[in-house]
Amino acid sequence: MANAEPLDAVVIGAGFAGLYMVYRLREDGFSVHGFERGDGVGGTWYWNRYPGARCDSEIMYYSFSFLSELEQEWPLTERYPGQPDILRYLEEVASRLDLRKDFTFGAEVTAAEYDEAAHLWTVRTAQGHVATARYVVTAVGCLSAANFPEFPGAERFQGLSLHTGNWPREPVDFTGKRVAVIGTGASGIQAIPVIAEQAAHLTVFQRTAQFTIPAENGPLDQDFVALWKQNYPEWRRRARHSLAGFPYTASVTYALEVSAAERRAAFEAAWGAGGFTFLSGTFRDLVMTEEANATAADFVRSKIDEIVRDPAVADMLKPRGFPIGTKRLPLDTNYYETFNRPNVSLVDLKQTPVTGLTATGITTSAGHHEVDVIVYATGFDALTGPLEGLGIRGRDGQTLKDVWAEGPRTYLGVAVPGFPNLFTITGPGSPSVLSNMPVSIEQHVEWIGDCLSWLRAEGAEVIEATEQATTAWTAHVQDVASHTLHPKAATWYMGANIPGKPRVFLPYIGGVGPYRDHCAKVAANGYEGFTTTGDQEGDDGARPGDHRAA
Ligand code: N01
């Protein structure tokens, strides 16, 4: 497409965020168009089709809250929705809201340039589409730029190479194959048990052993579902005002306040129940103090000893050297149990690093592993990667990469000074990846939608975060993180998984509820921390009475 008249907005991405943003702006009377690099809707759930891919948020609250009919009709069968179920859900949303007509699919945005004189963005795709728009809203997800480590000789490998975050649309059959999985984060931990059931042999290449908690997935009791559906508005309300977008109450007990036996009983109960409540529902300080954290970490290590039969393998699987919960806690189905299978072996890359790839497999310092397929479960250039990859140029042609050389600077995770009229849904500096994503996405979409309606009502056409408000917010994001154990670990939350990436804490850990309240206050105070300019010709400076940083 190439639009004759500038649009009000271009939205980039057609996952949860892009679908809702386009719908919301369309409903509010804005002209809006979406570009999506995939051939269909789904975002994360379009790309992450690897075996075992499943959401770690329970199905009851991993959905939109504004579709009350669909909410009642959509079947809630399993505790955690699998990737095909979530993709079907988003396809249903797109159909019901007739959203596909407002998107161009197979259109990868590679440039978005701001024209300061015209106050317009020009967005271009690799496929040749061009659109001009007043506003650009990125809805590209936090974990959508795949990280492919550069192993020497990688191009020589003659077998099949796959990345969990960029999986083919057709299912991959591992039957009879010798498979390598590199990486043991949440994706690898979901994929490994499923691939092990199919493959002739699976070799897991582990650089850092991970703590993981049983998901305890299974069919949902339909009486429970009926009760949940009756109370949906209340569950949604609780999720919005919680710490992480989950409708459950966090523990108020400190780990060291209780006896060792009581602690063990609490951990056992949470382990048996499965899910994230292992951290948040047991004790309040597990990710706050090293002493409390060690009690949970020791418990998980003791479980590994119970489950894994070969003591040497159990020892390799035990995470050490970082606090539990500082790497995103995966939920698993039979992860540790998988290492009892005769067709699974584990390679510890800390002891024997990869030295290179050959035509037929992977070489470590200890020898060569012949494989037919290499699955890279090596994660993502999180939060900043997807945004920097869009080729965004703001005032004076500066790029996000230029202005984020020392780490991302954002106001509320949703705006960047020097990039007027650009909004970043679940951007760095917002709760995003530390939360149940649909809750944070809805909050951002609604806040951005309200902001654009307010600008229209005010007769303003440019909005931009101030340097002062951005500096204060960016410092606040780091300050809150510094009261947790997170800065002590080399994780993707800290940008540590990408060579050369600045080490700062990327999301906002102040909590979904408090963050929401803060954003609402910013809006209620006339978008404090932003400047706006009017739509008179030649007017490109802020006017007296504009909405400046407090
Ligand atoms: O990626 P990761 P992921 N050589 O970065 C290893 C979300 N998610 O895709 O720890 C060898 O966590 C790396 O090792 P190390 C969730 O937020 C959600 O698994 O850096 N190994 C690590 O083991 C999650 O946190 C769900 O030493 C290398 C692994 O690869 C996020 O996505 C499901 C390496 C990468 O782990 C990312 O998870 C799945 C190298 N050069 C994921 N480079 C749901 O809820 C990296 N590794 C559905």
Query: What is the rounded average pLDDT of the residues 278-299?
Result: 95
Residue 1: pLDDT above 90? no
The Cα–Cα gap between 489 and 507 comes to 15
Predicted pLDDT at 3? 65
Query: What is the rounded average pLDDT of the residues 493-506?
Result: 97
Q: Is the CB of 497 under 6 A from ligand 1?
A: yes
Task: Specify the ligand 1 atom closest to the Cα of 492.
Answer: 5
Q: Is the CB of 276 under 6 A from ligand 1?
A: no
Cβ-based neighbours of 439, under 8 Å, separated by 6 or more: 61, 65, 239, 240, 245, 512
Helix-, strand-, coil-residue percentages of the chain, each rounded to 5: 35, 20, 45
Nearest to 285 by CA among 325, 327, 245, 330: 325
Per residue in 66-76, is it b (16+ CB within 10 Å) or e — as a string?
ebeeebeebeb
Cα distances from 369 to residues 125, 185, 317, 321, 374, in angstroms, run: 41, 21, 20, 28, 11
Predicted pLDDT at 46? 98
Residue 437: pLDDT above 70? yes
Predicted pLDDT at 250? 87
Q: Is the CB of 492 under 6 A from ligand 1?
A: yes
Predicted pLDDT at 550? 30
Q: Is the CB of 328 under 6 A from ligand 1?
A: yes
What share of the chain has pLDDT > 90, as a percent? 95
Ligand 1 atom 16, closest CA:
186
Q: 480: which 2 tokens?
A: 């809150």
Average pLDDT of every residue of the chain: 95
Predicted pLDDT at 526? 97
The Cα–Cα gap between 427 and 420 comes to 15
pLDDT in tens, 24-65: 999 999 999 999 999 999 999 999 999 999 999 999 999 999
Predicted pLDDT at 136? 98
Ligand 1 atom 29, closest CA:
183
Rg (CA), the chain: 24
Please name every residue paired with 380 in a beta bridge, in sequence order, or none if there are none. Answer: 146
pLDDT in tens, 381-396: 999 999 999 999 999 9
Query: What is the rounded average pLDDT of the residues 221-227?
Result: 98
Ligand 1 atom 1, closest CA:
379
Predicted pLDDT at 2? 57
Query: What is the rounded average pLDDT of the residues 200-229?
Result: 98
- Yes or no: say if 22 and 34 are a contact pair by the CB < 8 Å rule: yes
DSSP track, 240-288: HTSSSS-SSPPP---GGGS-HHHHHHHHHHHHHH-STHHHHTT-TTTTT
Q: Is the CB of 376 under 6 A from ligand 1?
A: no
pLDDT in tens, 119-170: 999 999 999 999 999 999 999 999 999 999 999 999 999 999 999 999 999 9
E strand or H helix that includes residue 532:
strand 530-534
Cα–ligand 1 centroid distance for 245 (angstroms):
22
